[in-house]
């Protein structure tokens, strides 16, 4: 390998900004060096150091900050859900004759406006977060963390670690869903990508409900044959008889987990879809301030 | 070495570059020669310009007009002050160490 070629190769290792500023001077010293092997190795090592520090400084720190913000999203959704449910509860006080089941359905309905809010937020949030498959992982960590907070975390289920386990299952399946949908979208199959996202999201939520319930309640109280209905019963407040052994069915046992995960699913799928299509880059930033 | 420690693994080469520029402005090759004379070790181009870049960013040195296709660098007033403080700190450290050695 000739020295000019070696010099050019080493200079290419430098970040462009540093190469533009000091490249000629470094090349001059390398060209006239009395110990070219040593100096080429020194420049190559320093170039990689510079590249590492540039990545560490500009990319990694930004990605870490944005991922932390994603982890915090469920922490924001939970009080909003609670606020909507509280408004519904106050409104129900005006109708003292309504039954317990109606109360549950109305409280569960809080998931609808908050899902719309999540959809809007997903549309407005910059897509320059972490990689798309990392979005559900970050959100799942947030849900698991919230569920692990003493007393407060019981709003997502009283049996620890059932809710964090559910969040882990949800994140795993949603990550696979987003990865698959992204591949379909890149190959031009947009409709298949949307179908995959919707079905994958439902499977993720249903699996999370099953994981939480099976780890918290025995088969006698919640027959496993009805497992696929647990999430649906909990998120809707309807009595589907899926947990007949429990006084208030799956709604009471799973508490706020299905609602928080449903809202997080909407947010994750919308955000991931926008990241794949790259639409968000031109849009205003709402959540992301990093 | 409060100010120069911010430069990480380039802090020692940065000190050598500043000492080299304390007498007069020099270009890269002349700085290499001078540091080799001072320390017995010639810094590689990557190490040298890693330190130069950081010193320039901190405002301790600045580039002058190119001469003979080579760009000389000189100490700034801020660089002068940092170097003075650093060398005084080293002198105090060396004096204390030597005094203690002499006492044993």
Distance from CA of A62 to the nearest CA of B (A): 21
CB contact under 8 A, A22 and B9: no
CA distance A45 to A51: 10
Any chain A CB within 8 A of the CB of B40? no
Q: Is A154 exposed, middle or buried (0-12, 13-18, 19+ CB in 10 A)?
A: middle
CB contact under 8 A, A29 and B53: no
Q: Cα A171 from chain centroid?
A: 7
Q: Counting one residue from A and one from B, how many pairs have CB atoms under 8 Å apart? A: 52
CB contact under 8 A, B46 and A26: yes
Instruction: Please list every residue in chain B whose beta carbon sits closer than 8 Å to the beta carbon of residue A46.
Output: 44, 46-47, 49-50
Other Cβ atoms within 10 Å of A245 Cβ, number: 12
CB contact under 8 A, A49 and B29: no
Distance from CA of B49 to the nearest CA of A (A): 7
Partner residue opposite A43 with nearest CB, options B44, B69, B70: B44
Any chain A CB within 8 A of the CB of B67? no
Instruction: Please list every residue in chain A whose beta carbon sits closer than 8 Å to the beta carbon of residue B48.
Output: 29
Any chain A CB within 8 A of the CB of B62? no
Instruction: Please list every residue in chain A whose beta carbon sits closer than 8 Å to the beta carbon of residue B50.
Output: 46, 49-50
Instruction: Please list every residue in chain B whose beta carbon sits closer than 8 Å to the beta carbon of residue A38.
Output: 44
CB contact under 8 A, A22 and B47: no
Which tokens go with A77?
A: 């959704």
Contact status, residue A135 vs residue A272, Cβ threshold 8 Å:
yes
pLDDT score at B94 = 94
Partner residue opposite A46 with nearest CB, options B28, B46, B70: B46
DSSP code, position B18: H
CA distance A212 to A160: 9
Instruction: Please list every residue in chain B whose beta carbon sits closer than 8 Å to the beta carbon of residue A28.
Output: 28-29, 69-70
Any chain A CB within 8 A of the CB of B28? yes
A21, closest residue in chain B (CA to CA): B53
CA distance A29 to B73: 15
B38: three-class secondary structure by DSSP: helix
Q: What is the pLDDT of residues A261-289, one digit of tens each?
A: 999 999 999 988 876 554 443 333 333 33
CA dihedral (A197, A199, A200, A204) positive or negative: positive
B68: three-class secondary structure by DSSP: coil
Q: What is the pLDDT of residues B10-65, one digit of tens each?
A: 688 999 999 999 989 999 999 999 999 999 999 999 999 999 999 999 899 999 99
Partner residue opposite A42 with nearest CB, options B28, B47, B69: B47
CA distance A253 to A276: 37
Q: Is A274 exposed, middle or buried (0-12, 13-18, 19+ CB in 10 A)?
A: buried
Query: What is the SS3 assignment for chain A?
Result: CCHHHHHHHHHHHCCHHHHHHHHHHHHHHHHCCCCHHHHHHHHHHHHHHHHHHHHHHHHHHHHHHHHHHHHHHHHHHHHHHHHHHHHHHHHHCCCCCCCHHHHHHHHHCCHHHHHHHHHHHHHHCCCCCCCCCHHHHHHHHHHHHHHCCCCHHHHHCCCCCHHHHHHHHHHHHHHHHHHHHHHHHHCCCHHHHHHHHHHHHHHHHHHHHHHHHHHHCCCCCCCHHHHHHHHHHHHHCCCCCCCCCCCCHHHHHHCCHHHHHHHHHHHHHHHHHHHHHCCHHHCCCCCCCC
CB contact under 8 A, A26 and B52: no
Q: Is A159 exposed, middle or buried (0-12, 13-18, 19+ CB in 10 A)?
A: middle
From first to last of its 290 residues, chain A has per-residue pLDDT tens of: 677 888 998 999 999 889 999 999 999 999 989 888 899 999 999 998 888 776 555 555 666 777 777 778 877 888 888 888 888 878 877 777 777 777 778 778 888 999 999 998 888 776 555 567 778 888 888 888 888 888 878 888 877 788 899 999 999 999 999 999 988 988 889 899 999 999 999 999 999 999 998 888 888 877 888 888 888 888 888 877 776 666 666 667 778 889 999 999 999 999 888 765 544 433 333 333 33
> A97 — phi, psi (to 5°)?
-90, -10
Partner residue opposite A39 with nearest CB, options B44, B50, B70: B44
pTM (2 d.p.)? 0.56
> B63 — phi, psi (to 5°)?
-85, 145
Q: Cα A158 from chain centroid?
A: 23
Instruction: Please list every residue in chain B whose beta carbon sits closer than 8 Å to the beta carbon of residue A42.
Output: 43-47
């Amino acid at each position: 390998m000739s020295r000019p070629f070696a010099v050019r190769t080493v200079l290419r290792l430098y970040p462009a900004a540093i190469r533009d500023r000091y490249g000629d001077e470094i090349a001059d010293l390398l060209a006239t060096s009395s110990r070219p092997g040593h100096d080429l190795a020194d420049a190559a090592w320093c170039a990689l150091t510079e590249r590492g520090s540039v990545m560490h400084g500009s990319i990694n720190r930004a990605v870490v900050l944005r991922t932390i913000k994603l982890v915090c999203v469920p922490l924001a959704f939970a009080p909003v859900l609670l606020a909507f449910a509280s408004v519904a509860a106050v409104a129900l006080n005006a109708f003292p004759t309504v039954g317990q089941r109606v109360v549950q359905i109305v409280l569960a309905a809080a998931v609808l406006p908050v899902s719309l809010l999540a959809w809007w937020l997903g549309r407005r949030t910059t897509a320059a977060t972490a990689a798309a498959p990392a979005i559900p992982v970050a959100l799942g960590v947030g849900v698991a963390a919230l569920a692990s907070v003493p007393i407060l975390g019981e709003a997502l289920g009283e049996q620890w670690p059932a809710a964090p386990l559910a969040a882990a299952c949800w994140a795993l399946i949603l990550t696979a869903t987003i990865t698959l949908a992204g591949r379909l979208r890149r190959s031009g199959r947009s409709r298949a990508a949307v179908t995959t996202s919707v079905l994958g999201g439902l499977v993720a939520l249903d699996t999370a409900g099953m994981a939480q319930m099976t780890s918290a309640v025995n088969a006698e109280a919640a027959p496993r044959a009805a497992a696929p209905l647990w999430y649906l019963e909990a998120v809707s407040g309807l009595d589907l008889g899926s947990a007949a052994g429990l006084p208030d069915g799956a709604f009471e046992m799973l508490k706020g987990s299905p609602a928080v995960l449903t809202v997080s699913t909407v947010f994750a799928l919308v955000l991931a879809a926008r990241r794949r299509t790259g639409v968000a880059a031109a849009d205003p930033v709402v959540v992301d301030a990093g | 070495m409060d100010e120069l420690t911010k430069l990480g693994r380039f802090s020692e080469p940065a000190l050598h570059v500043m000492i080299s520029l304390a007498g007069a402005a020099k270009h890269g090759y002349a700085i290499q020669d001078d540091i080799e004379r001072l320390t017995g070790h010639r810094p590689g181009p990557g190490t040298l310009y890693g330190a130069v870049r950081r010193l320039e960013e901190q405002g301790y040195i600045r580039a002058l007009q190119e001469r003979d296709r080579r760009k000389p660098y000189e100490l700034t007033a801020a660089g002068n002050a940092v170097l003075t403080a650093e060398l005084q700190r080293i002198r105090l450290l060396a004096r204390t160490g030597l005094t203690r050695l002499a006492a044993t």
